[in-house]
Amino acid sequence: MDVLDNMPIEPRNAEAPLRIPILDKMKDGNRTVVFGKVEQGTVRLGDRLAVSPYNYPCQVLSITNDKQQSVEYGRPGDNVTLKISYLDEDQVFKGDVLCPRDAPMQAS
């Protein structure tokens, strides 16, 4: 345990391409809501994103933080709830990653 406790933690980069692994999802009326943690980059209202590895396009309509407050952006380390458009609930799965359309995550 001492080795793990003393390992340096890599800083998260707010300027890197956005990466949000999807932890869960749900339907809210006719919109899809996804839950995840911003691992790098910054997510903002109106961002045009893609769901990797399928590259389904979507757009951020609202962002809620872990205190259930509406916010304009989420930074690295933040747990966020995103309401997104152009995406049906059956097109997104746990483990998929939200990323910018112009900087998709590479999948092998």
- Per-residue pLDDT tens digits for 26-60: 999 889 999 999 999 999 999 999 999 999 999 99
Question: At 73, which helix (H) or strand (E)?
Answer: strand 73-74
Confidence (pLDDT) at 1: 85
DSSP-assigned beta bridge partners for residue 57: 50
Closest C-alpha among 7, 23, 4 to residue 78: 23
Give the pairing type, strands 70-71 and 56-64.
antiparallel
pTM for the whole structure:
0.88
75-96 pLDDT, tens per residue? 999 999 999 999 888 999 999 9
Q: Where do the domains of the chain lie, and which CATH numbers do they carry? A: 29-98 (2.40.30.10)
Confidence (pLDDT) at 108: 67
Q: Report the alpha-carbon distance of residue 13 to residue 63 in Å, rounded.
A: 20
